[in-house]
Structure 1
Amino acid sequence: MKWRVPGMTFNRLYFNRGILYQNFRQHGWLGIVYLLLLLTLPLFIGTEYRDYTEDISTLFKVNGEFHWFLAITVPVVMALFLFRYIQAGGPADVYHSLPLKRRHLLTMNLMTGYVMILVPIWITAGVTKWVSVALNEPAYVFNDSAIWMWGVTISIVSLFMFTLTVAVGMCIGQSILQGLTVYGISLIPLIFWGVFGLHLKHYLFGYPENIFRFKIETISPISRVSSFSYAIPGWGELSIYAGMTVLMIVLSYLFYRKRHVESATQAIAFRIVKPIFRFGFMFTVVLLSGAYFSMISPGDSGIWGVAGYIIGGVAGYIGAEMIIRKTWLIWNSSLLPHFAVYGIATALILYVPVADWNGYATNVPSKDNVEKVRIGGDHTIYVDNQIVKLDDEQFYSNDMGYIDAVLALHQKIVDFRQTLNEKGQSRIIPDQESVRVDYKLKNGKTISRQYIVQESRFQQEFEHMKNFEDYKAVSYGTYALDNDVRSIGIRSRLTSDRAVYISNPQLIREFKALLKAEILDQTYEDQKSHWESYASAEVYQDYRDGLSSKQILDQPNLSSTYEIKPTYTRLIAWLKENKLYDQLQVSVDEVASAQFIKQEINSPGKAIYVYPDPQFIDENLKGNKKVATKNKEIISQLLQRQRSGYYTDQGIFYQIKLNFNKGQNVYMMLEEDDLTEGMRAILIDL
């Protein structure tokens, strides 16, 4: 009597040695290539030489972009090769004639891919650990958790891209189209939230930028490479990739069970997938075409965007049909009716969110419903290679007078929206002001709006709002002055080599108090002034109290920069009293001469950014006449004041170059009305 070992059938069917041997024999070289590419990590760590040792918390600071690139490309290639047999007619017939069920074939090929992905990753992790221990003077110092986190991250992302490619391959009948579709799907979140967001911003009055709380670059594994310098993957993001990997595995088994062998070499394997592919391809092209035409439109015309959508719709639908039918001969009697259906669906998706009747553009909350308000949007800082959002609460105000002022400005902007370039707010206008307002309502909801307006049209409302301390405290960042400050560096705006540092605790407290008082006491005219600041103060503080509970990071060298304006008379007097003012000053005897050149701006309706421009005066491409002077009185007057850059569509300016005795050059700018009598006398011929 023969005894049957339990599990023998299971092992033979799910782990058929012949199939596994054939897979590794034919495609094992991909795993070797992956290993060699990943080994660049320990190779770089072992051969990098530095004068100092850098303590790093993550291995992604060492060629992290390259390894992420490997994780989103090599596994895709592995899946294309391993499952090539379902895309080619001959191999499909051979493999599916074997005495194995499809779930057995799929399991063995998945396991082959997992081995070729995971083994190289963890060999690399082990070699990296060995290299870090073996080095006597390493360029990088890191702990075991950094190695572990690197291995887990690369493993999860690689498995996700592999299983995504497999799942897509079950619905696609051509390997090239399969690969393109994988990356198309990976880019869909970026295209939708990014490009569709541009559509909303262009056509929906008041739609704010960056309304979503996450960075767009992080929602696609492809674009994720660009954000590695400031946002390393965390457990939350990895959990999403892991969950989607499991979902792709389940879908692969379901699709494979229903897939016909004859679908090999066909563009789309399932009839139900064809309309999804057709609409997805068409809608993507529509968004991209509309965004492109909107960006190149003269005068920011909305008509160009609409034309772009129409052209994109036609091109997208024709392209999708050609791909599905694998020929450019796609004309038949049903083409136009089908195109009309897809076109109407696309038009509705684009139109409904921006239609006037949805009430978005005119929605200004009532005062009774508003709990608190914030101007300026989110505030972030750069910490440990990451952009961290500060806690919102400290930027909201519940002062009813301030809420009234914000609502009054908001209501007037809405009332005058037809004259505010409603169909595209990206055009630069003179006296331009960006208004971002966030309301927290008493019912727990949030309303956010953003507008670009000409401030002079709403001067009364702006003046009322900007005179509140709540506005000035947030706009000028006085919240940072309430933290502990380690030191303060003050640098002259005229020349960077004039600087003083304050480290005495008593002087720091006095400076902070005066600076905060000067900021909060600014008038509306002070805030609007285009006079260049006297100096800038770099205040080094500890931001930890301003971070949310999930983002408390130990980073003691954070800083904020504040302008010391000419109107801060009490602060300037304090600098003089403490013998700091003269150290920031430039003596008239240090300047050999001053050169003037006239710049005229006359472009009504098209604002130009005017600023102290070295190229304008040095290269003088227009051949304008220059005037030079060594008059000490004029040079002394120039050292006392200068204009900062701003947008304008008309005006007469003078670009000025100060030539120092030591060869240093300083560039500045004045308006025509700023000239003294002495300056006008020497510039009469310009």
Structure 2
Amino acid sequence: MSAKRLSANRAMWTQNVRQIGWIAIIHLLLWLAAIVLPIGLSYSQYDPKVGNVPQWKNVYYISNGFETLIAWLVPILAAAGVVRYMHEKRSADFIHSLPIRRTELLVGQMVFGWLMLVGPLVVAAIAAIGCLLGLDLPWPIGASDVWRWFGETLVVETVIFALGIVVGVLVGQSVIHVVLTNIALFFPTGIMVLLFSNMPLWLYGFPDGYYLSEKLMDWALPIRYAMLTDQAMSAGEIGMLLLLSLLFFSLSIWLYERRPTEAAGQALAFTVLRPLFVYGVAFCMCLTGGFYFGQVGDGWGWTIFGYVAFSFVGYVIAQMVVMKTWRVFHKWKGYVAFAAAMTVLFLAVRLDPIGYVSRVPELADIEKVYFGQSVMNWQSPNMMEREFEAFDQFLHTKDNIKAVRALHAQLVHDQPIPSRFGNIQPIVIGYVLKDGTRLIRRYQVPIEAYMPYFQRIMGSKEYKQQYYLLLRPGYSPIRQVTIRNVETGRPVVVLADPKEIESFLEAIKQDLWQKPVESLLGGQVWNGEIEFLQSDGDQFSLPIDQYSSHVRNWLEDRRLWEKIQK
């Protein structure tokens, strides 16, 4: 390296220390406040007689929300600091006149910014370990937990910092840099949420909740970081994030070599990005408006209004940002082209050329069916076994498979549009086919119009036996029954004698077998509440309603009914 280049590099680093070195100091102070300070406070407040040791499962439990904000916002601030010279015309002209190649210049800035992240993390980790080892307390966490926190936090901050560098090269203003970096962090999750939330408007039966799972949230790094309290990063995930960081850094260098110097002060540094930005904002706003008015409006008119109004506002705002003026209405032809393209896209989805809406599996191909109101139990069927009233079920008998398929076929044929103020039941229908294929749909069904189908399915022996815990074989024995007054909620009848409990359970089971389907769909009038305590310590309750005739007779025979009603 020549003396001039070495001198220029030194000058850049000296200038960085003066102008943005405070970011490293703030970073260190924040981590000390989030991790080390709570450890010291816990030690000072410890009482051996009480044994009030903090119950931290890992370092993320110390200040979870605060830690997430630090790991999210400080790297963005660091990225904005190290590339700020690109966004001011005089600074850009001066620095680009120095005898340093662009690649060398940006790499030096990236290294400086990354050191502002890793340095404070190292100091905070060493300080935390020193406190845990030096302060004599039975801490629930140790040095290994701190090093895990250090490694995962460094990976997350590095990825966010690298993304911030890419965005910084692409834009020409610091404010837009910070805003777009935050948008880019949440964009993968956000765009998928918008797309899946709009699909039910265009494809009847599309189960948006099935695709909007917790795993989708992992795509947003700040949310993933907040979840590290219970879900540690795997080696594969860490490797993928490090590879992504390397990709972002490499892309930044490649783009920077092609970035025009005169882009300083412009919203976007590359002209090719401007239409992409404008139409991207219009598209996202279009989906937001359509989803919102599709939920709160009544009919297609409001939904289309939402698409048009929000997309137009998004288009205009994006044009104002790019052109740096409010005089953008002469660009109306661009919006007309966008509206035409969106119309073609929505019509193509609505026409359903692949037959998604009308697909109903053949009876001979079905191994079992799922009938319920939640997609969660379809994804995690083991959860149903712990429910005391299991609305969601997998059904195996031939009659129930036929009944569920018949309801599905009728819904596909009718495609009912239920009133927002009507009696509506959300229904999830799923199939596991004999070849292993799985198919799932979700509908909003008007109860009265389809009651015969509900009665055929939910009134079956298989469904009722799986619905109520007391009708399932092998449940944990009941050791106590408590009945509460309908008005006061106070316990008025307590059964502890095994013979009485067994007799009472027989009366309850008769009522459960005879309960009409209407009661399972919410048509109940409560006359009291029965609480059950199982031998394994679990508790659950059932209402006494207008259909509990055997229970009422059992209580009246023992002159206990009056206590419940007083």
Which TM bucket (shorter chain)?
0.7 to 0.9
Asked if 1:141 corresponds to 2:140, the answer is yes
| 2:396 corresponds to which of 395, 398, 411 | 398
Asked if 1:167 corresponds to 2:166, the answer is yes
Structure 1 contact 533–563 (Cα < 8 Å) conserved: no
Asked if 1:363 corresponds to 2:359, the answer is yes
CA distance in 1, matches of 2:493, 2:121: 51
Asked if 1:325 corresponds to 2:327, the answer is no
| 1:22 corresponds to which of 12, 15, 18 | 15
Distance 1:515 1:181, change over 3 A: farther
Shift of 1:309: 1.0
Partner of residue 219, structure 2:
219
Partner of residue 102, structure 1:
102
Distance 1:242 1:480, change over 3 A: farther
Asked if 1:344 corresponds to 2:340, the answer is yes
Partner of residue 440, structure 1:
432
Structure 2 contact 196–211 (Cα < 8 Å) conserved: no
User: What is the identity, as a one-letter code, of the residue corresponding to 1:20?
Assistant: W
CA distance in 2, matches of 1:148, 1:484: 44
Structure 2 contact 172–264 (Cα < 8 Å) conserved: yes
Structure 1 contact 485–508 (Cα < 8 Å) conserved: no
CA distance in 1, matches of 2:105, 2:480: 68
Structure 1 contact 518–570 (Cα < 8 Å) conserved: yes
Partner of residue 179, structure 2:
180
CA distance in 1, matches of 2:289, 2:443: 25
Q: Deviations over 1:135-162 (max 9, x none)?
A: 4557x62233432332233222211221
User: What is the identity, as a one-letter code, of the residue corresponding to 2:291?
Assistant: A
Q: Deviations over 1:533-585 (max 9, x none)?
A: 6424466798xxxxxxxxxxxxxx8x5634254556777899999x9x96xx7
CA distance in 2, matches of 1:237, 1:489: 49
The worse-fitting range, judged by mean Cα deviation, of 110-119 and 360-369 is 360-369
Shift of 1:328: 2.0
Q: Deviations over 1:4-41 (max 9, x none)?
A: xxxx789x879944433332333111011011111122
CA distance in 2, matches of 1:240, 1:346: 35
User: What is the identity, as a one-letter code, of the residue corresponding to 1:200?
Assistant: M
Structure 1 contact 434–452 (Cα < 8 Å) conserved: yes
Structure 2 contact 260–269 (Cα < 8 Å) conserved: yes
Q: How does 1:177-256 map to 2 (within 5 A)?
A: 177-212=176-211, 214-215=213-214, 217-222=217-222, 228=227, 232=231, 234-235=233-234, 241-256=241-256
Q: Deviations over 1:486-526 (max 9, x none)?
A: 97775626344428999999999999999788756644355
| 1:561 corresponds to which of 540, 543, 553 | 540
Shift of 1:212: 1.6
CA distance in 1, matches of 2:149, 2:498: 43
Asked if 1:468 corresponds to 2:465, the answer is no
Q: Deviations over 1:444-499 (max 9, x none)?
A: 33221112222221121111101234433554467997466797775626344428
Partner of residue 530, structure 1:
524
Shift of 1:172: 0.9
Partner of residue 309, structure 2:
311
Partner of residue 260, structure 2:
260
CA distance in 2, matches of 1:479, 1:192: 45
The worse-fitting range, judged by mean Cα deviation, of 103-112 and 472-481 is 472-481
User: What is the identity, as a one-letter code, of the residue corresponding to 1:219?
Assistant: W
CA-atom RMSD in angstroms: 4.0
Asked if 1:372 corresponds to 2:368, the answer is yes
| 2:417 corresponds to which of 420, 427, 441 | 420
CA distance in 2, matches of 1:493, 1:282: 58
Q: Deviations over 1:385-423 (max 9, x none)?
A: xxx945489753332221101011122222222x433xx
Q: Deviations over 1:293-340 (max 9, x none)?
A: 33442xx222112111111222222222221122223355xx333323
| 1:42 corresponds to which of 11, 36, 40 | 36
User: What is the identity, as a one-letter code, of the residue corresponding to 2:413?
Assistant: D
CA distance in 2, matches of 1:506, 1:131: 59
CA distance in 1, matches of 2:132, 2:554: 53
User: What is the identity, as a one-letter code, of the residue corresponding to 1:408?
Assistant: A
Structure 2 contact 196–212 (Cα < 8 Å) conserved: no
Compute the TM-score of the two structures, normalised by the length of structure 1: 0.69
CA distance in 1, matches of 2:206, 2:539: 29
Q: Deviations over 1:54-102 (max 9, x none)?
A: 4332222222011101111111111111111111112222222222222
Q: Deviations over 1:593-635 (max 9, x none)?
A: xxxxxxxxxxxxxxxxxxxxxxxxxxxxxxxxxxxxxxxxxxx
Shift of 1:113: 1.5
Q: Where does structure 2 lack aligned partners over 5 or more consecutive residues?
A: 386-392
Structure 1 contact 433–454 (Cα < 8 Å) conserved: yes
Between Structure 1 and Structure 2, which shows a larger proportion of helix residues? 2
Distance 1:296 1:214, change over 3 A: closer
Structure 1 contact 13–104 (Cα < 8 Å) conserved: no
User: What is the identity, as a one-letter code, of the residue corresponding to 2:294?
Assistant: S
Between Structure 1 and Structure 2, which shows a larger proportion of strand residues? 1
Structure 1 contact 14–107 (Cα < 8 Å) conserved: no
The worse-fitting range, judged by mean Cα deviation, of 22-31 and 343-352 is 343-352
Task: Please state whether the residue corresponding to 2:540 is helix, strand or coil.
Answer: strand
CA distance in 2, matches of 1:170, 1:209: 36
Give aligned pairs, total.
545
Task: Please state whether the residue corresponding to 1:207 is helix, strand or coil.
Answer: coil
Distance 1:160 1:60, change over 3 A: same
CA distance in 2, matches of 1:508, 1:145: 52
Distance 1:61 1:410, change over 3 A: same
Distance 1:521 1:21, change over 3 A: farther
Distance 1:576 1:408, change over 3 A: same
User: What is the identity, as a one-letter code, of the residue corresponding to 2:431?
Assistant: Y
CA distance in 2, matches of 1:110, 1:415: 60
User: What is the identity, as a one-letter code, of the residue corresponding to 2:168?
Assistant: G
Task: Please state whether the residue corresponding to 1:336 is helix, strand or coil.
Answer: helix
CA distance in 2, matches of 1:116, 1:487: 62
CA distance in 1, matches of 2:336, 2:410: 41
Partner of residue 92, structure 2:
92
Distance 1:42 1:312, change over 3 A: same
Distance 1:465 1:303, change over 3 A: same
Q: Where does structure 1 lack aligned partners over 5 or more consecutive residues?
A: 1-7, 382-387, 543-556, 588-635, 640-686
CA distance in 1, matches of 2:242, 2:124: 21
Compute the TM-score of the two structures, normalised by the length of structure 2: 0.82
Structure 1 contact 486–503 (Cα < 8 Å) conserved: no
Q: Deviations over 1:653-675 (max 9, x none)?
A: xxxxxxxxxxxxxxxxxxxxxxx
The worse-fitting range, judged by mean Cα deviation, of 46-55 and 269-278 is 46-55
Q: How does 1:498-577 map to 2 (within 5 A)?
A: 498=491, 519=512, 522-524=515-517, 527-528=520-521, 529-532=523-526, 534-537=528-531, 559=538, 561-566=540-545, 567=547
Distance 1:380 1:242, change over 3 A: farther
Shift of 1:220: 2.4
Task: Please state whether the residue corresponding to 1:448 is helix, strand or coil.
Answer: strand
Structure 1 contact 42–128 (Cα < 8 Å) conserved: yes
Aligned sequence identity (%): 23
Structure 1 contact 31–116 (Cα < 8 Å) conserved: yes
Q: How does 1:630-645 map to 2 (within 5 A)?
A: 638-639=565-566
